[in-house]
Amino acid sequence: MKRKRKRARLDKRREKRRNESSAANEARLTKDREAAARRRALESQQEHDARIVQAGALISQYRANETQEQRAARLQVVRETMRLHRQSLAIDKQAFDEAINEYPNQVCEVCRKCCMEKQISRNVYPSINARGYLPACLAQKDSLKLCSRCKTHLSSNKNNPPSKAYWNKMDPGTIPDELSDLTDVEKRLLARVIVYVKIIRYEGRWGQYGFKGQAILFAQDLHEVTEKLPNMLPRSTQDCGMVVITENLENITTREFEVNRDRVYRALRWLIANNPLYQDVMIDEEACLEQDDVIRVEQRLPEQTENNQVRRVCYEEANNVSRILHGSWHQGYVSIFGRSSGKQCCAMALANILRAHILDPHLWSRSILDYNMLDGDHIYNKIVSLLTVAELDDSEYLEVANFHVIRDELMAFNTAFKITHEANPSWCGSLQDKMNDGIQGKTLAIALDALFTDHRGGILIANSSAYGVLNYNNKYYFTNSHSCGKKGAAAGNEGKACVIECDTFAELHRVCKRATGSGNKQYSLDYIDVELIGQLAQQDINNPLENLAFNYENVTNIPQIHTSCMMPIDYAQPAEEDVLEVSDNINEIRRKTRDNLVNVSHEAKHEEFAWSLFHMELMD
């Protein structure tokens, strides 16, 4: 009787689910997923492992008992799901490519602002009042192409043109060559108002620029500022208000900070002749214009301290005994490495070994791994150019024996190294352990153990691929410049190069076997001993922003000119009770200081002086 009631209850539930709408079905599934997520979040590690084992056993039991027809149907569903997934990824990638290839190529006919396609309204019919103030060339048109601001204005009953209309003296015209050729430093030398802000560059080969610090509006007597504007231009490079601090001149584009004396004076004479805001300026023919005043090189060696928690976040957890660090690309990127792409794995493994000799792999970041690959590509091209035709086969893949052309003096990371290796592989054998006799061929585990007994690093070659293996500070490292997935396994072209940090030798051996496979294929293992023969001069390591040291003692000569839009970064902020009055009305803010605009006319004049610089920045 109980079975019948239970069967009836289940049949009723199944019938209800068959008849539910798509919205109800999705709501029920969402609720079930949330409940399952809550249960899994509360389970212990033992419960988690037991659940995974039980689920695996159920799946194995189901697949062992399924018929050929059921298996074929299941595989067909899997293939169809994967096909739809790949199709969805292709559609998303196409949409992404189309989105990033859009640019503002549409121009408003009234304000001449460059807009995106979706920001432009076509076939806009101006009102009768608008045709009264439109220029003849626009008034005779039946419809116009306008931005949203101009469309709203021309569709209204206003009798005046938009403030941004080009005939309202808002079109600056073509920027002359005298101004468009100026660098940022040269513009600062000619600007009558200077805005101060600390500019930093984010780590990575293509790291973007950004500013760091406070941006606070505050009341200031602008009359005093405008009276102190310089009448002698150009200002010297010591007073331009720009200091670039770098560890290496190669880290920056010197053209960006170049100072050309003839170009500066030519631009200044053009401004005096054509810009009314510069008519009272006198030319200082003896101004000191030296690029060394702008760019300062300060060398710092990477510090290796015991407290590496800040840098450890660069590695992501792969499992309980290993962590992984990915690069920005892999060795097969043609756009990065050109014709040598896909062939430099042996040289890149060597580059990682060299880097580990001067910087503990535990401290590496994505940016450092990227630079390792770039220097590895340079090493590859150097070796190929020095090898004879007989020493390099048609595939152009390198072996450790090919390193003899550079081993006595190898330049990498602005440092001179000397490497030692044997002419023939130090250890070799089959990846299939049972095929090794222990004399001629050794298992990979025995070879790795022998390597780390007397050496700190080596190169493992198997299946025409090379990998780096390292042992530093009781940690083992596996470097792979090929395309790797999230956990380090082989991936398609979308993968990245990686470094895997292992806590145990067994984990390193497992990672190596995963990369090389366990088939009856030959492997070779060579030790690489590194000797530093040149003093570490300069490092091209991009440190994290938190480690960026800014020496304020070197910039004491910079004049402290403040504008009404920017506070000094290290300015002592007043207490709130000294600036604002206490009021019972929470919607009322009453200042104890004077109004922001001390003198409207001086404020307007100050904005005009600033616009001469902002306009050049925007149009350049």
- For tokens 């003096």, name the residue: 409
Q: Which residues pair with 201 in a beta bridge?
A: 209
> Is there a contact between 142 and 582 (Cβ–Cβ < 8 Å)?
no
The confidence score (pLDDT) of residue 383 equals 92
The confidence score (pLDDT) of residue 572 equals 53
| Selection from 168-177, 350-359, 584-593 with the highest mean pLDDT | 350-359
Residues 200-229 have pLDDT tens digits of: 666 555 566 666 555 443 333 434 444 444
E strand residue ranges, 421-474: 427-430, 457-462, 465-472
| Residue from 164, 169, 142 nearest 153 by CA | 164
Terminal alpha carbon distance of the chain: 87
Q: Of 386 and 615, which is predicted with more confidence?
A: 386
Q: Which residues pair with 209 in a beta bridge?
A: 201
The confidence score (pLDDT) of residue 562 equals 37
User: Which residues fall within 8 angstroms of residue 375, CB to CB, at 6 or more apart?
Assistant: 351, 354, 355, 412, 413
pLDDT at residue 583 tops 70 = no
The band of 443, judged by pLDDT with boundaries at 50, 70 and 90, is very high
In whole numbers, what is the pLDDT of the chain averaged over residues? 77
How far is the C-alpha of 236 from the C-alpha of 559, rounded, in Å?
Answer: 11
pLDDT at residue 542 tops 60 = no
How far is the C-alpha of 457 from the C-alpha of 467, rounded, in Å?
Answer: 11
Question: Which amino acid is present at 304?
Answer: Q
**3-state SS class at 319:** strand
The confidence score (pLDDT) of residue 500 equals 96
pLDDT at residue 260 tops 50 = yes
pLDDT at residue 435 tops 50 = yes
| Residue from 446, 497, 456, 453 nearest 476 by CA | 456
Residues 286-326 have pLDDT tens digits of: 776 665 545 444 444 444 444 444 444 589 998 999 999 99
User: Which residues fall within 8 angstroms of residue 463, CB to CB, at 6 or more apart?
Assistant: 516, 517, 521
pTM of the predicted structure, to 2 decimals: 0.45
The confidence score (pLDDT) of residue 194 equals 63
| Residue from 385, 444, 382 nearest 417 by CA | 382
Lowest mean pLDDT among 171-185, 257-271, 282-296, 322-336: 282-296
User: Dmax of the chain from CA atoms?
Assistant: 109
The confidence score (pLDDT) of residue 544 equals 38
- Which two tokens mark 207? 């790291």
The confidence score (pLDDT) of residue 445 equals 92
Residues 90-130 have pLDDT tens digits of: 998 888 888 777 788 899 999 988 898 888 988 888 887 88
| Selection from 418-432, 534-548, 563-577 with the highest mean pLDDT | 418-432
> Is there a contact between 344 and 465 (Cβ–Cβ < 8 Å)?
no
The band of 618, judged by pLDDT with boundaries at 50, 70 and 90, is very low
Question: Which amino acid is present at 533?
Answer: I
Please give the average per-residue pLDDT across 494-513, as a whole number. 93
The band of 169, judged by pLDDT with boundaries at 50, 70 and 90, is confident
The band of 506, judged by pLDDT with boundaries at 50, 70 and 90, is very high
Domains defined for the chain, CATH in brackets: 106-170 (no CATH), 177-299+559-619 (no CATH), 319-545 (3.90.70.120)
Please give the average per-residue pLDDT across 357-365, as a whole number. 91
The confidence score (pLDDT) of residue 598 equals 45
